[in-house]
């Protein structure tokens, strides 16, 4: 069960999830959504953004994936403060936790290609390690710069 902590914790209301972060503006006591309500709402927002992105892809007839368009629309909604990132925070954290399990078939099929690895493994393994290290470094620097930027705005 979630508790409302003291003033040091960030509290959220229904109105703060949709852009009004200050409880004094909304006239509602600041309290956190229960987890049983927060997770389904976050999943619904994520799925709706995916479906809307797929619809836009169908209308535009462009080779841009619908999920990328949906996430771009979600980012625009965050930027214009139509939707608060807190609304999808729990749901996206749960999805990120299970994400590596979704890549298991890719790893299994790659390992199952023994002939490929014996012929080109000397090129593939260093390339995979370099790409992984480069990606980790890029994401680390990007996350740090975004955190610094958000701390400056607070």
Q: What is the pLDDT of residue 115?
A: 82
Q: What is the pLDDT of residue 154?
A: 74
Q: Which residue has the tokens 């709706």?
A: 48
d(CA 83, CA 54): 20
Q: What is the pLDDT of residue 9?
A: 38
Q: What is the pLDDT of residue 51?
A: 96
Considering the entire predicted model, what is its pTM? 0.52
The conformation of residue 143, written as its DSSP 8-state character, comes to H
Q: List the chain residues with pLDDT less than 70.
A: 1-33, 105-107
d(CA 78, CA 110): 37
Residue 33: burial class (beta carbons within 10 Å; 0-12, 13-18, 19+) = buried
Q: What is the pLDDT of residue 33?
A: 66
């Amino acid at each position: 069960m979630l508790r409302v902590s003291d003033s040091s914790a960030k509290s959220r209301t229904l109105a703060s999830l949709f852009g009004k972060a200050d409880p004094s503006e909304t006239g509602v006591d600041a309290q956190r959504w229960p987890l049983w309500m927060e997770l389904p709402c976050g999943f619904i927002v994520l799925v709706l953004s995916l479906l809307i992105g797929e619809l836009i892809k169908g209308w535009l007839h462009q080779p841009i994936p619908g999920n990328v368009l949906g996430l771009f629309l979600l980012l625009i909604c965050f930027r214009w403060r139509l939707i608060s990132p807190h609304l999808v925070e729990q749901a996206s954290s749960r999805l990120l936790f299970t994400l590596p399990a979704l890549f298991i078939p890719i790893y299994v099929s790659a390992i199952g290609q023994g002939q490929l690895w014996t012929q080109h493994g000397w090129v593939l393994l260093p390339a995979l390690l370099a790409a992984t290290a480069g990606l980790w470094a890029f994401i680390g620097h990007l996350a740090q710069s975004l955190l610094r930027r958000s701390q400056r705005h607070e």
